[in-house]
Amino acid sequence: MQPPLPQPDALRTAMARRAFIGNAGVSLGAAALAGLERRLPAATVAAEQSAPAAGHPRIHPPLPGLPHHTPRAKSVIYIHLNGGPSQLDLWDYKPQLQEFFDKDIPPSVRGEQRLTTMTSGQKRFPVAPSKFRFTQHGESGRWVSELLPYTAGIVDDLALVKTVHTNAINHDPACTFVMTGSEIPGKASLGSWLSYGLGSECDDLPSFVVFTPLPDIPPSQALFTRMWSSGFLPTRHAGVALRGSGDPVLYLRNPAGVSTADRRRMLDTLGSLNAHNLARYQDPEIETRIAQYEMAFRMQASVPELTDLSTETAETLSLYGDDVNKPGSFTHSLLLARRLVERGVRAVQILHRGWDQHGNLPRDLASQCLDTDQATAALVKDLKRRGLLDETLVVWGGEFGRTVYSQGTLTKANYGRDHHPRNFCMWLAGGGAKGGTSYGETDDFSYNVTEHPVHINDFNATILHLMGIDHERFSFKFQGLDQRLTGVEQQRVVTEILS
């Protein structure tokens, strides 16, 4: 029996402004329905799990009018070091600090900065010079810590920004800020914005994929899904996290006794029911459901192929390092990131925990760099030799930096550092970034910016620009505001680091 039609009041509610706006524009669900409403012979099911036939709509189409200008990069691989890596021990070389060992940082330098509760009660703020040796590398002569020997070999491919700063001083709001442009939860992440605006050239994988590899040391900070959430954007643009153990995606395999053809017929029937509700209620989340069911079906073939490294050469596997065949490792995640962008995925995010060194920094930071340095450099080299670096933007950085003064006990061999939002280092490689450049300067204590500050939303505006998006014209109406990744304040593209 045909279900009763909604009454006028209910229909008006269903067609509320938010639902109408969410349903306006390009309909990804319509694209998925084109596949769902076809009855497929069993012989064609395997082919249907690969790229759609010529003339079929893209599964992840871009918004009309995007990109705004010719993009320099097609994809982003974002390496986020959760916890705040110490700029003083990795990139911001300050040899004169040796003279200040165990002396209090001058009040004129520390100023009125807000302190965390972890050091606000300290009676002293003794300077802790880095114990690690720095040497110059590349034609650019970049000073790099001994902790990054592999990354030191690619410095001429990196655009280093030494003066990134943020508003937040604690991890959760700072990570939320880096990824969404705001400390307030509920905003859309960078990868979701890219998925929403640009879609993806891949029809068999999500447009935004996330990895959360565990380090060898116990992670000190949790990861929250808001860092790859779609926020107020349609939920189909949220990052899809691939697991490091077991099946990369839960329930990807069909249960015993259920064939691929059976699954196809089940989705066709379910798609018809969802299409009926979509026509009645115009709810954009029904579109998402249709699209995600179809994507899950396609991923049953594409994910096993993605994670099968048997086609990689011994040379490539050796380039990445010993952990490359260890699912869930940082190294394995980076090789999969390269394979994803090779297949046309728009955004890949790798979040590595354990960079919050309030104590035992020399030991724990060395361990973290040992876990990540070789694979990070290998990713850039691998993209470059395959001709993919010019169209792939690699981003490296954390949510803030670390203080020059020690938290707790200080010795020549051991110290800790508190959170420092005033300046920290991030770098870009490929995708239109000017390799071999360094932008911005800090004072003798790496405590204040002295030249060319770069707010985190300036940095995000630059990423969007390289992807062909004008951040001032890229917005989504929510709660009566034109929401943007870069916020409502004036931000700028850092053109000085662009090639």
pLDDT tens over the chain, length 499 residues: 444 444 445 444 544 544 444 444 334 344 443 443 333 333 233 333 334 444 557 889 999 999 999 999 999 999 999 999 999 999 999 999 999 999 999 999 998 878 898 998 999 999 999 999 999 999 999 999 999 999 999 999 999 999 999 999 999 999 999 999 999 999 999 999 999 999 999 999 999 999 999 887 776 678 989 999 999 999 999 999 998 776 776 556 767 777 777 667 777 787 788 888 888 888 877 877 776 666 666 777 778 889 999 999 999 999 999 999 999 999 999 999 999 999 999 999 999 999 999 999 999 999 999 999 999 999 999 999 999 999 999 999 999 999 999 998 899 999 999 999 999 999 999 999 999 999 999 999 999 999 999 999 999 999 999 999 999 999 999 999 999 999 988 999 999 999 9
Burial 269-293 (b: 16+ CB within 10 A, else e): eebeebbeebeebbbbebbbbbbbb
* Closest C-alpha to 82, from 476, 456, 452, 397: 397
| Cα–Cα distance measured from residue 196 to residue 236, given in angstroms and rounded to the nearest whole number | 9
Assigned token pair, 269: 């029937």
- 3-class SS of residue 405: strand
The burial of 122, by beta-carbon neighbours within 10 Å (0-12 exposed, 13-18 middle, 19 or more buried), is given as: middle
How high is the pLDDT of residue 39?
32
| Cα–Cα distance measured from residue 93 to residue 100, given in angstroms and rounded to the nearest whole number | 15
Strand (E) or helix (H) holding 191 = helix 190-198
Contact of 213 with 219, CB cutoff 8 Å? no
How high is the pLDDT of residue 248?
75
Please tell me what DSSP assigns to residue 131: -
| Cα–Cα distance measured from residue 257 to residue 156, given in angstroms and rounded to the nearest whole number | 55
Contact of 466 with 393, CB cutoff 8 Å? yes
Extract the runs of DSSP E, i.e. beta strands, from 185-239.
Answer: 208-211
Residues 6+ apart with CB under 8 A from 222: none
Peptide bond into 129 cis (omega under 30): no
Identify residue 200 by its one-letter amino acid code: S
Residues 6+ apart with CB under 8 A from 426: 160, 161, 164, 395, 396, 397, 398, 459
> How far are the Cα atoms of 64, 71, 412, 430, 434 from residue 466, in angstroms, in the given order?
18, 6, 43, 10, 11
* Closest C-alpha to 60, from 180, 192, 161: 192
Is the sign of the CA dihedral 277, 280, 283, 284 positive or negative? positive
How high is the pLDDT of residue 295?
67
| Cα–Cα distance measured from residue 12 to residue 368, given in angstroms and rounded to the nearest whole number | 55
- 3-class SS of residue 461: helix
For helices 284-307 and 330-342, give the axis angle rounded to 10 degrees: 110
| Cα–Cα distance measured from residue 273 to residue 494, given in angstroms and rounded to the nearest whole number | 49
* Closest C-alpha to 212, from 240, 184, 191, 193: 240
Please tell me what DSSP assigns to residue 433: B
Residues linked to residue 32 through DSSP beta bridges, in sequence order: none
Residues 6+ apart with CB under 8 A from 171: 82, 83, 84, 221, 356, 399, 419
How high is the pLDDT of residue 250?
59
| Prediction pTM value | 0.85
Residues 6+ apart with CB under 8 A from 266: none
How high is the pLDDT of residue 449?
98
End-to-end C-alpha distance for the chain, whole angstroms: 64
For helices 361-385 and 330-342, give the axis angle rounded to 10 degrees: 20
Contact of 385 with 409, CB cutoff 8 Å? no
Residues linked to residue 310 through DSSP beta bridges, in sequence order: none
- 3-class SS of residue 160: strand
Q: Residue 401 phi/psi, 5° resolution?
A: -105, -160
Identify residue 109 by its one-letter amino acid code: V
Please tell me what DSSP assigns to residue 438: E
